[in-house]
């Protein structure tokens, strides 16, 4: 699944990023590395989402959310 399909209020582990290399490296530098934790705080119809990565909140556009792949639901694991 991608972040875009995730549910608000839940925490997930990142499986991989699959986007333009430039943005991918930037996100990694911000701490969104493989197997790191990402918490989806809220999302809206347009597709932008608010996530928490290593204690910091970020707003991410739809294009980015659709390219962040997650391991299934962390709460159930």
Partner 1 sequence: MKNELTVGFIGNPNCGKTTLFNAYTGAKLKVANWPGVTVEKKEGVFCYHQHNYKLVDLPGIYSLTSYTLEEKLSRRYILEGDVDVIINVVDASCLERNLFLTLQLIELGKPVVLALNMMDIVEERGMEIDLHRLPEMLGIPVVPVCARKKKGIDVLMHTVSHHQDKPIGALEHQHAKGDHCHDHHSEYPIVYSDKIEDLIDAVTERICAANKNIINHRWYALKVLEHDSEIMEELNIDFSDIVPHSLEKEIINQKYDFIEEIIAEVLMNKEKKQQMTDKIDLFLTHPIWGMPIFFGIMALIFFLTFSVGDLLAEWFSFLIDGVSSAISTGLDLISVAPWLKSLIVDGIIAGVGGILTFLPNIFILFLCLSFLEDSGYMSRVAYVMDSLMGRIGLSGRAFIPMLLGFGCTVPALMAARTLENKSDKLRTILVTPFMSCSARLPVYVLFSQMFFPKNAMLVAYSMYIIGPVVAIIAALIMWLFTGKEKKPALLIELPEYKTPNGRSIAIYVWEKVKDYLTKAGTTIFIASVILWFLLNFNFTGLCDMNESFAASIGKLLSPVMKPVGLSQWQIVVALISGIAAKEVVVSSCGVLFGIPNINSAAGIASFGAILTGMGFTGLNAFCLMLFCLLYSPCAAAIATLGREANSQKWAVFSVVYQTGIAWLVSFLVFQIGSLF
- Binding residues vs partner 1 (CB under 8 A): 22-23, 25-31, 33-34, 36, 41-48, 50, 53-64
CB of 54 to partner 1, least distance (A): 4
Residue 61 or 72 with smaller CB distance to partner 1? 61
Tell the burial category of 48 from Cβ atoms under 10 Å away from its Cβ (0-12, 13-18, 19+): middle
Distance CA 16, CA 19 (A): 10
CB of 34 to partner 1, least distance (A): 7
CB of 72 to partner 1, least distance (A): 21
Residue 13 or 48 with smaller CB distance to partner 1? 48
> For the chain, how many residues are written?
77
C-beta separation of 69 from 17 below 8 A? yes
């Amino acid at each position: 699944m991608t972040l875009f399909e995730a549910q608000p209020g839940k925490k997930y582990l990142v499986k991989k990023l699959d986007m333009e290399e430039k943005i991918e490296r930037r996100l990694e530098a911000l701490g969104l590395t493989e197997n790191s934790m990402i918490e989806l705080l809220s999302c809206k119809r347009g597709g932008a989402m608010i996530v928490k990565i290593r204690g910091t909140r970020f707003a991410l556009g739809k294009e980015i959310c659709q390219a962040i792949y997650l391991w299934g639901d962390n709460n159930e694991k």
